Amino acid sequence: MRIAIHIPTQQLELFGDDGKLVHRFPVSTGANGAGEENGSFCTPRGRHVIRAKVGAGLPENAVFVKRRPTGEIYTPELGAQFPQRDWILTRILWLSGCESGYNRSGTCDTMRRYIYIHGTPDSLELGKPGSRGCVRMRNADLVALFDMVQAGTEVEIAA
């Protein structure tokens, strides 16, 4: 399995070991565009791997803060109560860059920037940039993807 994320089309594609397309999902990448620098709130490009999978077995809409479940379940009412919160829901696929000096090490390290593929409130529009650098997905789509990939799966992010 490998994942390709296309920033221009706002799509994530999952390919099988045979190279054939298994599934295509709409996503939302960084509102600030593509970029690798820490603090840019951009989506990093290049070759990555899934460093860790977080949240197996939790219900859809489980809320995470710093990769830990808070015990909350997202609802529109909870969202209205905390409108400025960047909601990380359901599952986390934590990415690590593979290209030293580009998306790994120093001020451009994807993992140290806490860049994830994660769930988002289903009310948020996908198919256009809107995140703080992460790759947002519908919760049901993320659960399906999470169950199909392993830590170490290759992820290519292209602009």
Summarised one tens digit per residue, pLDDT across range 1-57 is: 999 999 999 999 999 999 999 999 999 999 999 999 999 999 999 999 999 999 999
Question: With b meaning 16 or more CB within 10 Å and e meaning fewer, what string describes 129-147?
Answer: bbbbbbbbbbbebbbebbe
Backbone angles phi, psi at 97, to 5 degrees: -70, 155
Residues 151 and 50: their CA atoms lie apart, in Å, by 5
> What are the structural domains, with CATH classification, of the chain?
28-154 (2.40.440)
